[in-house]
């Protein structure tokens, strides 16, 4: 059986599942993707946007979501406040959230506002407080981790967009669009048994921020 692997640009407000609560009226993946037997490898919160990988390969889905395996996830976060070198250093070294320190990450300030489609609904701004964009690359996926990390250093997140999963990038997609992975992109995915589990990470949660 030939598996299918899709990249999807999840819009703001869409649930990362194919079924929703009866009568809730919230958009789900079913409203955008009419492909049978594919499932999301990881999650994005309803109020987050960006790259989502869906696959019909259950073993691959497990390798990409099992917390024992370190797979890089890159986010652009629009934050409220002024980004300092000290805040970036703390984010990179790890901050304590929910009683546990985060793993080391890569953190940098974006010099220019990234070219992204407007969010619907738009972010609400406060004229008296500046905003900025930072890029964070994590190798763990705790619940609402990016938002909790930026809040811990005094930079509340206003908008959060996942722009990369390993070598897979968001470029070329608009919100609500999906496409099949290319042959080259497929070769970047972990082969069965090809990724080694990180020691001491067996209790990490599977939630993806």
Distance, CA of 8 to chain centre: 12
User: Distance between CA 125 and CA 138 in Å, rounded?
Assistant: 27
Stretch (H or E) spanning 78: strand 73-80
Q: Is 45 a catalytic residue?
A: yes
Choosing from 31, 45, 57, 66, the catalytic residue is 45
Residue 130: both structure tokens together? 């500046």
CA distances from 139 to 57, 96, 98, 102, 145 (A): 22, 16, 17, 10, 11
- Picking from 195, 175, 168, the residue whose alpha carbon sits closest to that of residue 6 is 168
Question: Quick count: other Cβ atoms within 10 Å of Cβ 123?
Answer: 12
DSSP string for residues in 126-153: -TTS-EEEEEEEES---TTHHHHHHHHT
Cα separation of 86 and 170, whole Å? 29
Instruction: State residue 163 phi and psi, 5-degree precision.
Output: -110, -10
Q: Which residues are catalytic?
A: 45
């Amino acid at each position: 059986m030939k598996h299918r692997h899709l990249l999807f640009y999840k819009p703001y407000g869409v649930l990362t599942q194919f079924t929703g609560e009866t009568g809730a009226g919230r958009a789900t993946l079913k409203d955008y993707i009419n492909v049978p037997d594919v499932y999301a490898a990881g999650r994005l919160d309803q109020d987050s946007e960006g790259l989502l990988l869906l696959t019909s390969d259950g073993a691959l889905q497990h390798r990409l979501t099992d917390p024992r395996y370190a797979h890089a996830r890159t986010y652009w976060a629009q934050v409220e406040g002024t980004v300092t070198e000290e805040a970036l250093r703390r984010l990179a070294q790890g901050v304590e959230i929910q009683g546990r320190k985060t793993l080391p990450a890569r953190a940098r300030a974006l010099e220019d506002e990234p070219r992204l489609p407007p969010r619907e609904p738009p972010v609400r701004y406060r004229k008296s407080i500046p905003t900025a964009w930072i890029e964070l690359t994590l190798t763990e996926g705790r619940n609402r981790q990016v938002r909790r990390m930026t809040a811990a250093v005094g930079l509340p997140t206003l908008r959060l967009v996942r722009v990369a999963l390993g070598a897979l990038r968001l470029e070329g997609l608009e919100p609500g669009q999906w496409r099949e992975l290319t042959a080259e992109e497929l070769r970047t995915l972990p082969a069965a048994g090809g990724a080694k589990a990180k020691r001491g990470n067996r209790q990490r949660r599977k939630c993806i921020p």
